[in-house]
Amino acid sequence: MKAELIALLAGATLTLAAAPARAIDVAPGDYVIAPSGTNIALLYLQHQSADSFELNGSDIPGSELGANVMVLHGLHYSEAFGMPALYHAILPVVGFDTARIGGADQGTSEGVGDLTLGFTVWPVQPDNPDTGTTLGVSMFVTAPTGNYDVTEIGAGSGAWTLTPQIGLVQGLGNGFFLDGVVDAAFSFDHDENGVTVSRETAYQAQIALRKQFSPTTSVSLGLSSQTGGKVEIGGVDTGLRTRRDQVRLYANTFLTPTVQLQGMLAKDIEVDGGFKSSSVIELRLLKLF
């Protein structure tokens, strides 16, 4: 049993540390309220590159990761409980160019990731968006539908997760806005080969200063910070944590009245318990219906 636990621990450590981040990331302006009946289709294309792996404060040499992520995100705006409401459906698809830790190539489970369904309501709505306050409250449920193998770096997580989230948009005047989001991810324990895999609650805070140059074009500078998420397997602390600070630069514009293109560049500035991304490049295509 001890040998089996050690093998499982090693494999799961790789899986949980190396897979792309599963947080509910939010771009600046995403908590702005759209009219009821609006439908939006989002397509994200992201490439992540990492050339270091940080564990317990040490860099494991000979480690690198190249991941390609496509995310489909459908949105429907409506009303509920006398407030604006929004329904979400999110599905990622993940592939890996490179997956290496300590100089050794790792097995991968590519393909469809975990499906997330979400619901948002806005109890606080601004009279004047330019200087007013918008506050939304969301709940996301993530199901372990993705390709998952505890011994491989995978597209799925193997666990059910509940993520409540609060989003704020504060108008500052003169086209400036402060976008802030906080959430907490509660993952349920799951068994793999008779051994329990558990992850403590992981927290994330995202903040961005957005300059709206026109109703159709904006640029934002933001930070994301993730903490918590200690991973244990069979009661043994793996040393993995959801500890990541990342700086982000966004720019978007509407190409037509119903099509928006957004680009994001990001870089990890501090990581403990996983790969440290030297670059994250993302394109997002938005279509209004």
Give me 90's structure tokens.
């999110």
Q: How much is the pTM?
A: 0.91
- pLDDT cut 70: percent of the chain above it: 92
The dihedral of CA 169, 172, 177, 181: what is its sign? negative
Min mean pLDDT across 53-57, 160-164, 218-222, 252-256 is at 53-57
For 187-197, the pLDDT digits (tens) are: 999 888 788 88
Distance CA 248, CA 280 (A): 9
Residue 149 above 50 pLDDT? yes
C-beta separation of 121 from 166 below 8 A = no
C-beta separation of 65 from 18 below 8 A = yes
Q: What is the DSSP string of 172-208?
A: EETTEEEEEEEEEEEEPPEEETTEEEEE--EEEEEEE
Return the pLDDT at 239: 73
Residue tagged 């409506």 (tokens)? 78
Give the H or E element holding residue 214: strand 202-214
Distance CA 247, CA 273 (A): 18
For 71-112, the pLDDT digits (tens) are: 999 999 999 999 999 999 999 999 999 888 888 888 888 899
Interval 104-121 mean pLDDT: 90
C-beta separation of 245 from 269 below 8 A = yes
Residue 6 above 70 pLDDT? no
Residue tagged 């903490």 (tokens)? 227
- Alpha carbon distance, N-terminus to C-terminus of the chain: 56
